[in-house]
Amino acid sequence: MSMPCVHGVGWATSMDIARAIFQLIIDLFSLLFLLTRSRGRLTAENLFLRKQLAFYKERGIKPGRIDSASRFTLVALSRLFDWKNALAIVQPKTLIRWHREGFRMFWRWKSRIGRPTISEELKTLIRQMVRENPLWGEERIANELLFNLDIRVSLRTVRKYMPKQPSRESRGDQRWSTFLRNHAEVILVCDFFVVVTSTFRILYVFVLLEHGSRRIIYLGITAHLTAHLTAHLTAEWTLQQLRRTVPADHLYRFLVHDRGSVYSKELDRRAQNMGLRVLKTPYRSPQANSICERAIGTMRRECLDHMIPLTENHLRRTLKVWMSYYNQSRPHSSFGPGIPEQASCASKSL
In a domain, 86, yes or no: yes
Residue closest to 290 by CA, chosen among 161, 136, 172, 184: 184
Q: How much is the pLDDT for 294?
A: 93
Angle among Cα 291, 292, 295 to the nearest 5 degrees reads 90
Same domain, 185 and 330: yes
Same domain, 150 and 210: no
- pLDDT-derived band at 296, boundaries 50, 70, 90: very high
What is the rounded average pLDDT of the residues 78-96?
A: 72
Contact partners, residue 328, CB within 8 Å, separation at least 6:
339, 341
In a domain, 253, yes or no: yes
Full residue range of the structural domain in which residue 32 is found: 2-110
Q: How much is the pLDDT for 6?
A: 41
- Per residue in 322-348, pLDDT (tens digit) is 999 999 988 888 777 788 887 665 544
Same domain, 205 and 331: yes
SS3 content of the chain, % helix, strand, coil (to 5): 55, 10, 35
For 153, counting Cβ atoms within 10 Å of its Cβ (0-12 exposed, 13-18 middle, 19+ buried), the class is: buried
In a domain, 115, yes or no: no
In a domain, 239, yes or no: yes
Whether 295 contacts 214, CB under 8 Å: yes
Residue 5 has pLDDT above 70, yes or no: no
Q: How much is the pLDDT for 262?
A: 84
In a domain, 272, yes or no: yes
In a domain, 308, yes or no: yes
Q: How much is the pLDDT for 288?
A: 92
Q: How much is the pLDDT for 254?
A: 95
Q: How much is the pLDDT for 162?
A: 86
Q: Could you tell me which residue, 101 or 258, shows the higher pLDDT? A: 258
What is the rounded average pLDDT of the residues 255-280?
A: 91
- pLDDT-derived band at 94, boundaries 50, 70, 90: confident
Q: Could you tell me which residue, 248 or 38, shows the higher pLDDT? A: 248
Q: Are strands 187-196 and 202-210 parallel, antiparallel or unpaired?
A: antiparallel
Q: How much is the pLDDT for 7?
A: 44
Q: Is 122 left (phi over 0), alpha (psi -120 to 50) or beta?
A: alpha
Q: How much is the pLDDT for 227?
A: 42
Same domain, 143 and 287: no
Q: Which of these three, 110, 130, 147, is where a domain ends?
A: 110
Same domain, 155 and 192: no
CA distance 315 to 150: 71
What is the rounded average pLDDT of the residues 214-235?
A: 70
- pLDDT-derived band at 95, boundaries 50, 70, 90: confident
In a domain, 166, yes or no: no
Same domain, 85 and 44: yes
Same domain, 91 and 133: no
How many domains does the structure of the chain reveal? 3
Q: How much is the pLDDT for 280?
A: 94
Bridge partners (DSSP) of residue 56 are: none
Mean per-residue pLDDT over the chain, rounded: 80
Same domain, 219 and 99: no
Same domain, 71 and 9: yes
In a domain, 18, yes or no: yes
Same domain, 207 and 229: yes
Residue 287 has pLDDT above 70, yes or no: yes
* Range with lowest mean pLDDT among 65-69, 224-228, 264-268, 317-321: 224-228
What is the rounded average pLDDT of the residues 15-21?
A: 71
Q: How far is CA 344 from CA 125, 145, 167, 185, 340, in A?
A: 61, 62, 38, 8, 6
- Per residue in 40-83, pLDDT (tens digit) is 666 666 655 565 566 566 666 676 677 777 777 777 777 766 66
- pLDDT-derived band at 172, boundaries 50, 70, 90: low
Whether 248 contacts 223, CB under 8 Å: no
Bridge partners (DSSP) of residue 220 are: 206
Residue closest to 225 by CA, chosen among 217, 214, 209, 236: 236
Range picked from 135-144, 217-226, 335-344 for highest mean pLDDT:
135-144
What is the rounded average pLDDT of the residues 288-308?
A: 94
- Per residue in 140-171, pLDDT (tens digit) is 899 989 888 888 888 888 888 888 766 555 55
